[in-house]
Every structure is written in C-alpha cells, then in structure tokens.
Structure 1
C-alpha cells in the first residue's frame, strides 16, 4: 500500500500502482541501441512570455505561444508580474513534470526549482515524492532537482543524454536524444500542413524577413530594447523602419484573415495545451479575432494602413505585435511567427488523441491508445483532459494503424525516436457514413509526451478492478492533498482514482493544482464520477 506521507494525517491507504509499462521501457524498446544509455527526462513546460524563474528565462529563440502569451495583455508579460510568473512556474515546473514522472519508470527525471528558498525547495520535493510514492518501487523514478536548464547535474547523477518534452533555449549544448531545431520544426503547424499527411487544407502566411535591430531604428525602440524585464516589443510610437516593417506584416496577415470566409480555424505556429487556436464560425467571432490579432477594432474601412496608434494597420497592442516583435536573425529561419488559416472540418463524428512511440531502424510504431479529447466549452479550445474506453482499443488500433504508420514514417525520416501524440478528427461523409482513412484528418501533431499518455499505461490497474473506462484531467482545488484525499477516500483507496500530479501553493492561498485519473465500469459510471469531481473543483488550462 502507498501513502500520502506527512500531508496525510487521516492515514488514507492507497493501493500500490503497477503500470503496464513505462516511458523509459518504451524508449528502450523503440531504440534498442540506447539500452545502455542513461537518459535524463526533462518534461517541463516553457513560455516565451516571461521568465519562469531567475534561473529559467523565457525562450527567445524557440518561440512558444502558450495561453499566457496569446491571452495576457502585453503589459502583464513582464518579470515584475510575480503572480503570473508563480502561476506559470507551478504549472510548468511542477504540475506537468510530475505527471510525466509518474509514468517515466525507473529512470532519472529532472525538475527545475520554482524558487531557491530552502523551504520552497523542500516543499517541491515533498510534493513530487508524495505523488510517486504510490508506484511499485521498481517503477519509481529518481527525481533530480536543479535551479534551471543551465545547471542540470549530468555528471553528478550519471546522465548520458537528455530526452525532453518541449524545446528549451537553455538545453543548447547538452547531449540530446534529438536535435532542438528539428524537434521544434516537427512540432510546428506549418510542418504538419506541408507534411503530406491527411490534414485540413491550410494557407501558411509567413512574415517577410525580420525587423531591423532596435539600436539602429529610433529612440523608442532603443529604450524598449533596454528594458530586459519586459517582453521585447516594437513600440506603437516607433518612428523608424521597425515600425514600418511591423505595419506591413500586420496588414498583410490581417488582410488574409479578413478575406477568409467563415468558418475557418486560425493557428499560430507553435503552442501546446490547445493554445494558439481559434475556431471561427460566425462573423462576430471573426471580428473579435481581428481585434485580438491587431489590438483594436477592425476598422480597415475607415482608416488607412498604419494610420494612428492602436488600429490594426500598425499592430495595435494585439497578438501580432507581440509575436512579430520576437523575430530575430537567429530564429527567422524557423518561421516562429507564421500564421495558418485552415479549413474547419464539418460534422466531425470523432475526436481522438492517438499516442504511440516512433521506433528506430524502421520497426513498426508502438501503439498505445486512442483517447477522446476533452476541450473547454468557452470557445478557447483549451485542452482539459482525455478519456478512454479500454474495450475499444483493439478496434481503434486496427482502425488507425495505417494513419499511425504514415505519421511515424514521416517523423522517423527526421531522425526522431520517442513518444508522439496526434489529434485527429473523423469527419462524417456526405452519406453520413464517414468510413475510410480519407475521412480522418490530423489536426495537430505533438512530437512529445502528451497529457493522455498515462491512460494506456494504467490499463491493467483499472481493468483488474473491473473498470473498463478512465479519464485524466487537471483540476484546481481549495485545500491540500490530505484534505482532498479525505474527501475522496473511497475512490482513492479502491484504486478508482489516482493522483498523477499535485502541487499545493505554500504561500497560504490554500489552493492546489492536480492531475487525476478516474475509472468507471462503463462510460456512464465514469461520467458520474467525473461530474462529481468537476462539481467540487475548477478546470486548469495550459
């Protein structure tokens, strides 16, 4: 039996979890030549909006458009915004890494400290160790904490090579399982659109070059560049070539969006957790999108391009100003500011998250699962969880075998071996049947571990208890791990609920974020437990 450690005065006794297999075992199976290589798994998130911590600066070369970057006003994206930094650090440096560490297996996993305060460091360690304490001892990872990406103790812990989830600027220079630029491009929306895989028709709009250096432009640009605490941005009152370049690129992108009839989908180049995607089905949604991109009302009919401060011609203070300002000579070849306009798949009858491992030497991919995606219902399309029906997996494996093989072959041609997630929509045909691979579209490709990867690895745990369905999702709760365990004692002790990740804010707010998996005998019973949990918690988006 496992326990919840010191945070569990009630003495809730949790069953020991034995995973069907682990990420480390799957990687060694996928790449037999690496069986003697000691991997260190880096599974954190990353942002280009703010520094997560002083030792974990924001990405400046490999630009990600996470929810904070796309949704937060530019003035909030500064290193003095302690509330935002703390929230992102808790999610990206503890919550997400714990979730992957739970299924990593007997290997080494690297965590980055949220703070260098000794009490905070010990709190982070206790949270992570409490989470993995329920695992069978043979499958528990060795958790390694360090200040930031530049200070990973490779030699001290005998790590030969790093396997990473998302591209981090600070990983440049380490021995890695795959190349940073190649991995970034494999995860880009433009690469998927041009891959030859079955995807919705897409128009890729790439900026022309990059802005001139700030110090060669004008005084406002030089002053903005000198303030390194804030997101680099071409100021709206720029009087030089940078402002003119921004106005021209913004006008071109907005013109393409304006000309696109609804319905359509707009995507930024690189994101995770459902960020950077807008489903546009009505004229009012289109008008709002144009305003969000340009930073003001879509007033093209009454204003000239670049005329005034805040209109869509000069970029206003919207997403495009933030995104285009981050183009530099070092990253322009990656096209991090590309915008995609894609067809909206009509009448989808299935929304699946496929997870599998791409193997070396041309061996067939290792299929893990086809889970159903769960997204927010507020129009943001943010990913909040997944659910799986274990009895359907053999049929779904066969159904998607051809598509998985095509995706794996494309990824493998770029030298990647490891976990992959593919979001696919199954569209109904004209007759409503919708059968055949030609009716399945890859709408997103995540060449990394995905949030649903734990579901297939927990199959034996749940089915041995007569639970044929399961769902994983992130929650925010009032109180700590012990209080939650007491409230949900029966499903936890029965093994019907498993905590994959937990982080309680130690600052006194009384709030925690967590990732849980719940099981049910069938989809109806699963739905009952999911609703019960959701009624007493809040959603967490990334």
Structure 2
C-alpha cells in the first residue's frame, strides 16, 4: 500500500533542498509504507470472547476523560465517575492561573484524550465503529483536521482491519440509531454514556478499576488500609453565600471554597484533618493511592519523612480539597474519595505489564502479552517494551495469575481487555487470607480493566518478527515536526516496517505534534538505541 504524502511533506523537502549545497534537483517522492496486518483486533477478540455479542454491532468509545476540566464545549468534565489524572492531582500553586494558561491546558488535554489516546486504540480496534469526538465542533477547519489526522493514522492498516471512524461533537451526540449501533464498549466511563446500551454496566466498570476493589479482591496484592470518607459535603446551592457565589476562586466552581462558612466547609475541615492524621501516623515506607487513577497519576511512594511531608503538603494545597469536593450524592456510593495506604513491595526482581482478554464463559482468558513498562517522573506511564521471544515463557509463568484475575473480573460480569501491573519478588510474601499460596511472589500493584497503552505490541507481533525484529516498544512523543516531516526524518525505518505511527495529532494553533509510535529491533540492546534515536529528535509526553 502506498500512503501518499500531504503538502506538509513537500514543504519539508523543499526547505531541505534549499539548505542543500547540491540544490536537490530531483522531484521528491513520498515514502512507501508497508501495510500493517495485525495478528488479531479488539473486534475479533470481542467476537471470540463473548458469543452473546457476535450478532451485535459494538461501537468502541476509547477516549480519556477529566474530572476537573471540560475537554471541549460539547465534552463536559466527568462529575459522577471520577478519574484522578495528573491535572486533577496538581496543587493550586502549580495549576494554571491565567485564562490563556488554562485554555492551553484544556487544549492539550483535549488533544491527548480526544485524539491521541483514541487513535492509538482505534489502530487495533479492527472492523468496528469507533467513536471519536471533535476538539472544537464549531470550527469547520478543526473538524476536518481531526478527521484527517485519524484517517491518516489508520490508513496503513489492512483493508479488513480498518475501523469505521464515527465523529461527533460530544458524548450526548453519538449517532447510535443512525449508525445501527447495538451496544457500546468503552475505555473509561464517560458520564454521558449512561443512556446507551453498554457492554459493561457503568458502576461495575468503575468498581473493578478501583484500588479499593483490588485491595479486597482476594488476589495477590500488597496489604492495604482504606481511608474512607464519612458522607459528603452536600449541595453547593444550599450551603452558604460564599458557596452560592461560586467555587474556589480559581475557576473550579465545584470546589468547596476555603472561605466556606456552611456545612460543606465544616465537613471538609473535619474529614481532611482525619485523613491527614492517618497519613501522618502510617509507618514508613508505604504507597498512597487515589481510588481511581489514570495514566499513572495519583500514586505516591513514601519512603522518608521528607517525602511524607511533601505528600501532606500537596494534599493540603488543593489536591484533597478538589477530590473531596467531587464526592456528591450521585457518586458517594462508589466511594470515589477513598484513599488507599498500601505496603511498599521490597526489592522486586521483576516488573511486568500483563495484558489479556477476559472471556464471557469460564474458559481460559486470552493471554496477549507480558511487557515491561517505562515510568517517568511522578510515576507517569510513558511507554512499554516487549521481547517476543520470551512471550511463551512468560505466558506459562503468569498463566495461573492471569486466570485468577480473569475469574475475579468475570464474577463481576466484566468481559473485555484488561491489564495488570505486577511486581515479582524473590521470596514469598505474607498476604491476606485466601490468596493462592502459589502466587505469593507476585504483587498486583494496579489493575487497568480497559485497553492498555501497550496493547498494540502483542497484536503487531507478526508485523515485527516477520522482519527479524524480536523486540519492540511503543511510547508517546511530542515533536515540532508534522507527521510527514517526522516520517521523512526516519524514512528508511518507516518504509522497512521498523517504525509505525499508532496515533498522531498536530495542534493547528502551536504547530506541536503529539504522537504514539511503535519501534522494532532485533535485540533488546538495538531497541534501546532505536528508541534513543527517536527520543533525541523528540520530547517526552506523560499523561
């Protein structure tokens, strides 16, 4: 398949030729990109894993959400199903303070959550409708740009594996009847999806992704102490004059103001001090986690008193107030404000990201991969690596653990993709009663019951290994180049199939591009070099 370059590519070539001593008289020709044939797709896995859905047309909603900010005029912040990502957990001192900074943050989040992440998952969705939301539905040029970026990404896929991209303004505007959609599968629970027929019930999906559920699951996981909130602050309207006049003074209308003189302020003062006292009394070391996180945010490793002090300061400086203010009558039953204090796993000898697909019936779950994760500053996920030669060995190693996790998820009526972050220790650990003795060297530190960021890697196994590339990585980048300029920089790698774009979005305002790329190499050492080549030409992206 030939993917023809856009005008940006020719501009880049022309610029390069002007700088060339020879003048570059030959007309540029576009790169010839190989067709990507996936080993399987999400659509295939749903048909295989859930016989009851075979005859149903399942659409996939694969975007991220934010519980602090709206992502667009048509995509409001999530208020019922809370997810604590990096922006949500930012202290007041570090948060944007002026309108321009806030607008820039919102636009960047929209690019990541409404285009970058769903494009990456759409790449592996297969022949099924994938719902994408416009960053600005009222701007015709922006609407066309959104569509062009997504279509360019999936254009390299085999014809029978290309998703049907369905664009709309927001969650309230999904054309379910017009597109003949029978049910919706989703990555994160978007508030506006509740009115539709969903493959997994909203409360169930949110619950199985919560840290509290993992702590009480009976699966091998570090021992935890749960700090629950007692009640919630109540309605803003019936509190006091300060609350009625609006939020925290920083544009967050839902946040209980520090100057609140009513019941909300009293509740916050009492509950927050109780929480901070418990954190202050916890013996070191420990890990503090939010109930529901996204992109590695909301996890604090505390080894020293200095680190404890910093965490307490962050909580005092706005993080705890924002979290507690988000607990309402509508979501209190989910306990989204709970905090989890867990033991720290000592001296792990292995760190794995397991991906698998949970089946409807009590059959073996579909093991997909065991990859290694790349973690950046603040425990944020930035990418993954995989060694294809080791997959059979790792499948056998983790077979019992994956089966246990899948059985627990199935008991809650979950069917679909899942991931588990697992630390391995040299010796067995003391765990809660009921944990299988054979699994006490494994510690599940997180369950991501959704499509994981590295899910493309196992599905591209044949694409890479057929080219002698037994190792691969996928990771996020930020670049000053357009898509075509970036492909031109690494033309040989793209034409050989060594490199592939999984998602790409260039901001029409700043010109900056955010992307996910997959890179293959023959050996782990070669993979590090190939990744570094890309890193040297780009910047890192965290979520």
- SS, match of residue 155 in structure 1: coil
- Does the 8 Å contact 1:78/1:229 carry over to 2? no
Instruction: Tell me which of 248, 268, 273 is aligned to 2:290.
Output: 268
Which residue number corresponds to residue 204 of structure 1? 226
Shift of 1:286: 1.1
- SS, match of residue 349 in structure 2: strand
Pairs within 5 Å for 1:122-521 = 122-224=144-246, 230-295=252-317, 318-376=318-376, 378=377, 380-429=378-427, 437-507=439-509, 509-521=510-522
- Does the 8 Å contact 2:240/2:262 carry over to 1? yes
Which residue number corresponds to residue 25 of structure 2? none
Shift of 1:78: 9.7
- SS, match of residue 255 in structure 1: helix
- Does the 8 Å contact 1:202/1:343 carry over to 2? yes
Which aligned segments of 4 or more residues in structure 1 are displaced greater than 3 angstroms? 7-10, 74-80, 225-229
CA distance in 1, matches of 2:236, 2:99: 20
Return closer, same or farther for 1:430/1:175 CA change in 2, 3 Å cut-off. closer
TM-score (norm 2): 0.92
Pairs within 5 Å for 1:53-132 = 53-71=72-90, 73=92, 76=96, 81-116=102-137, 117-132=139-154
Shift of 1:69: 0.5
Q: Deviations over 1:383-406 (max 9, x none)?
A: 000000001000100100110000
Which residue number corresponds to residue 315 of structure 1? none
Instruction: Tell me which of 60, 73, 92 is aligned to 1:41.
Output: 60
Return closer, same or farther for 1:500/1:2 CA change in 2, 3 Å cut-off. farther
Deviates more, 1:9-18 or 1:263-272: 9-18
CA distance in 1, matches of 2:354, 2:97: 34
Shift of 1:510: 2.3
Shift of 1:226: 11
- Does the 8 Å contact 1:371/1:386 carry over to 2? yes
Which residue number corresponds to residue 528 of structure 1? 529
- Does the 8 Å contact 1:423/1:442 carry over to 2? yes
Q: Deviations over 1:446-485 (max 9, x none)?
A: 1110001000000000000000000000000112001101
Return closer, same or farther for 1:30/1:479 CA change in 2, 3 Å cut-off. same
- SS, match of residue 400 in structure 1: helix
- Does the 8 Å contact 1:50/1:77 carry over to 2? no
- SS, match of residue 244 in structure 2: helix
CA distance in 1, matches of 2:220, 2:99: 41
Q: Deviations over 1:211-244 (max 9, x none)?
A: 1322332111111259996341111111122111
Q: Deviations over 1:45-76 (max 9, x none)?
A: 00001110111000111111011100253864
Instruction: Tell me which of 33, 37, 43 is aligned to 1:14.
Output: 33
CA distance in 2, matches of 1:289, 1:261: 14
Return closer, same or farther for 1:393/1:234 CA change in 2, 3 Å cut-off. same
Q: What stretches of structure 1 of length at least 5 have no aligned partner? A: 296-317
- Does the 8 Å contact 2:91/2:314 carry over to 1? no
- SS, match of residue 516 in structure 1: strand
Aligned residues between the structures: 514
Q: Deviations over 1:172-192 (max 9, x none)?
A: 110110100110011011011
Q: Deviations over 1:490-520 (max 9, x none)?
A: 111111111000000111x221000001011
Q: Deviations over 1:263-298 (max 9, x none)?
A: 111100111110110111222111100100112xxx
CA distance in 2, matches of 1:481, 1:390: 28
Shift of 1:106: 1.0
CA distance in 2, matches of 1:77, 1:363: 53
CA distance in 2, matches of 1:365, 1:78: 49
- SS, match of residue 517 in structure 1: strand
- SS, match of residue 71 in structure 2: coil
CA distance in 1, matches of 2:402, 2:156: 33
CA distance in 2, matches of 1:471, 1:51: 32
- SS, match of residue 143 in structure 1: strand
CA distance in 2, matches of 1:228, 1:540: 26
- Does the 8 Å contact 2:220/2:443 carry over to 1? yes
CA distance in 1, matches of 2:487, 2:55: 39
CA distance in 2, matches of 1:514, 1:72: 27
CA distance in 2, matches of 1:350, 1:462: 25
CA distance in 2, matches of 1:78, 1:370: 44
Return closer, same or farther for 1:226/1:446 CA change in 2, 3 Å cut-off. closer
CA distance in 2, matches of 1:154, 1:214: 35
Shift of 1:363: 1.6
